[in-house]
Amino acid sequence: MMQLPNYKEAKVRNKEQVIREEYKFDSSLKNIGVGKTYHVKTYGCQMNEHDSENIKALLEELGFQEENDYEKADLVLLNTCSIRENAHNKAFGMLGRLKHLKEENKDLIIGLCGCMAQEEGVIEDILHKYKFVNFVFGTHNLHSLPNLLSKNLKSNHQEIEVYSKEGNLIEGLPVKRANSYKAFVNIIYGCDKFCTYCIVPYTRGKQRSRKKEDILKEVETLVREGYQEVTLLGQNVNAYGKDFDYDYRMENLLEDVAKTGIPRVRFMTSHPWDFTDQMIEVIAKYPNVMPSVHLPVQSGSSRILKLMGRRYTKESYLELFHKIKDTIPNVSISTDIIVGFPGETEEDFMETLSLVEECQFDNAFTFIYSPRENTPASKLEDNVSLEEKEKRLYRLNEIVNHYFLVNNQKWIGKVVPVLVEGINTNGKDGLYGYTDTNKLINFMGDPSLTGKIVSIKVTDAKTWSLDGELYE
């Protein structure tokens, strides 16, 4: 039986209590992957990266072993992203390559999961044009993977199981963490903001917060295991706890996580709407909460912000921005910006540029608007040409890049704490790591420093990174 995605259901928000469940491994499946290898290819955001850590552990419980080269693996699973058209195209391009591989090796097992699996149109294509895909599951049912795979191996039928009504909140999934010193910890799933351009509320469902006890237990375990950094994850972390019937919110959680003694706490992503003064105070108060905030603005035009359904104006964003800057010493603020939203005029775009001139962001991810199936914005008339959108992106990037460099230069001569991530693989000698303010820094040192926090004196600044030397 197949379970297909349904946009109508995906849109529903209700007050029903989320059902919390503990994951149980079906031990009768424990050998179905023995002697076989897997490769998981991850697209998109940190949420997907972290889901892949669960997916890998689920596959290893079945006996599969990881293979870094997808062309050699017995099972290839694509964990996909829907956020923009090019994420789609990449995944479909990869499916094309896998089709060829399968023509040579008919036993190749191909799976698809993640946000694209939640899209009606994508599943239509998988059913009719990509029949060689063995199994599909969605963002609400990672835990179905062992069962689906086992069914497919037995019957050889395409197995599709995607729920659009948000699933239960499953605790206790196994996890194979990508590294041993920094970890992702989910705190809230889904999103209820429904920004008009965004597909996430449909692909990730209703806002559901994990219980404080489960989160703190996970962080405490990481502390005991020697982890140096946790990143608290959610599509909108600042909404944490809004779905509880008691008063425990993001500022309380952040404070309790800081008190576990984990050396570094980060969190992302923050919607400006839910960013409270108490949050700002907690970040300022605890030295292990990193002074680095990702605060997507999307546009500097209040008219466009309204059309985007962002629920703030240019002025209220700036007010919040300056409050954060004034309260948290040396804080770095990064952002996301979309250009070419339907109907964006030159004047609207100039408002974005003026906001960027005022905020001088430490980092910014800039995008051309990409219409997403079934979102309200995709139904708006769009009279801005692609050529004009590309020009705007170019003009915007010139300015944001300039300020990255200006901000980086302010650090020259200062000593900063750096979590060492390992040996440079980009052709440079030495090691790299991230400062407390989330800046990439390159320096010479012994690889045994990987996973440690060291003091580095900044010696030079580039647009995208700093250079430094170990400081005794």
Q: Which window, 126-134, 197-205, 248-256, 443-451, contacts ligand SF4 (CB under 6 A)?
A: 197-205
Out of ligand 5AD, ligand SF4, none, what residue 400 binds, judged by CB under 5 to 8 A for its kind, is: none
Out of ligand 5AD, ligand SF4, none, what residue 48 binds, judged by CB under 5 to 8 A for its kind, is: ligand SF4
Report if residue 237 touches ligand SF4, rule: CB under 6 A: no
Out of ligand SF4, ligand 5AD, none, what residue 55 binds, judged by CB under 5 to 8 A for its kind, is: none
- Residue from the set 5, 18, 36, 44 that interacts with ligand SF4 by CB under 6 A: 44
Between 50 and 182, CB nearer to ligand SF4: 50
Distance (Å, whole) CA 45 – CA 31: 32
Between 123 and 324, CB nearer to ligand SF4: 123
Out of ligand SF4, ligand 5AD, none, what residue 416 binds, judged by CB under 5 to 8 A for its kind, is: none
Distance (Å, whole) CA 134 – CA 160: 8
Out of ligand 5AD, ligand SF4, none, what residue 204 binds, judged by CB under 5 to 8 A for its kind, is: ligand SF4
Q: Which window, 26-34, 75-83, 317-325, 358-366, contacts ligand SF4 (CB under 6 A)?
A: 75-83
Out of ligand SF4, ligand 5AD, none, what residue 82 binds, judged by CB under 5 to 8 A for its kind, is: ligand SF4
Between 234 and 451, CB nearer to ligand SF4: 234
Interface residues for ligand SF4 in 80-99 (CB under 6 A)? 81-83
Report if residue 270 touches ligand SF4, rule: CB under 6 A: no
Out of ligand SF4, ligand 5AD, none, what residue 372 binds, judged by CB under 5 to 8 A for its kind, is: ligand 5AD
Interface residues for ligand SF4 in 334-373 (CB under 6 A)? none
Report if residue 253 touches ligand SF4, rule: CB under 6 A: no
Contact 140, 117 (CB under 8 A): no
Residue of this chain nearest to ligand 5AD (CB atom):
336
**3-state SS string for the chain:** CCECCCHHHHHCCCCCCCCEEECCCCHHHCCCCCCCEEEEEECCCHHHHHHHHHHHHHHHHCCCEECCCHHHCCEEEEEECCCCHHHHHHHHHHHHHHHHHHHHCCCCEEEEEEHHHHCHHHHHHHHHCCCCCCEEECCCCHHHHHHHHHHHHHHCCCEEECCCCCCCEEECCCCCCCCCCEEEEECEECCCCCCCCCCHHHHHCCCEECCHHHHHHHHHHHHHCCCCEEEEECCCHHHCCCCCCCCCCHHHHHHHHHHCCCCEEEEECCCHHHCCHHHHHHHHHCCCECCEEECCCECCCHHHHHHHCCCCCHHHHHHHHHHHHHHCCCCEEEEEEEECCCCCCHHHHHHHHHHHHHHCCCEEEEEECCCCCCCHHHHCCCCCCHHHHHHHHHHHHHHHHHHHHHHHHCCCCCEEEEEEEEECCCCCCCEEEEECCCCEEEEECCHHHCCCEEEEEEEEECCCCEEEEECC
Distance (Å, whole) CA 329 – CA 22: 41
Report if residue 203 touches ligand SF4, rule: CB under 6 A: yes
Between 317 and 367, CB nearer to ligand 5AD: 367
Distance (Å, whole) CA 227 – CA 179: 9
Report if residue 296 touches ligand SF4, rule: CB under 6 A: no
- Residue from the set 10, 38, 39, 48 that interacts with ligand SF4 by CB under 6 A: 48
Residue written as token pair 């139904």: 379
Out of ligand SF4, ligand 5AD, none, what residue 163 binds, judged by CB under 5 to 8 A for its kind, is: none
Out of ligand SF4, ligand 5AD, none, what residue 115 binds, judged by CB under 5 to 8 A for its kind, is: ligand SF4
Q: Which window, 21-29, 196-204, 347-355, 464-472, contacts ligand SF4 (CB under 6 A)?
A: 196-204
Report if residue 77 touches ligand SF4, rule: CB under 6 A: no
Out of ligand 5AD, ligand SF4, none, what residue 208 binds, judged by CB under 5 to 8 A for its kind, is: none
To the nearest whole angstrom, how small is the minimum distance from the Cβ of residue 454 to ligand 5AD? 31
Residue written as token pair 């390992």: 422
The binding site for ligand 5AD (CB under 6 A) comprises 83-84, 197-198, 296, 298, 336, 338, 367, 369-370, 372
Binding site for ligand SF4 (CB under 6 A): 44-45, 47-48, 81-83, 114-115, 199-200, 203-204
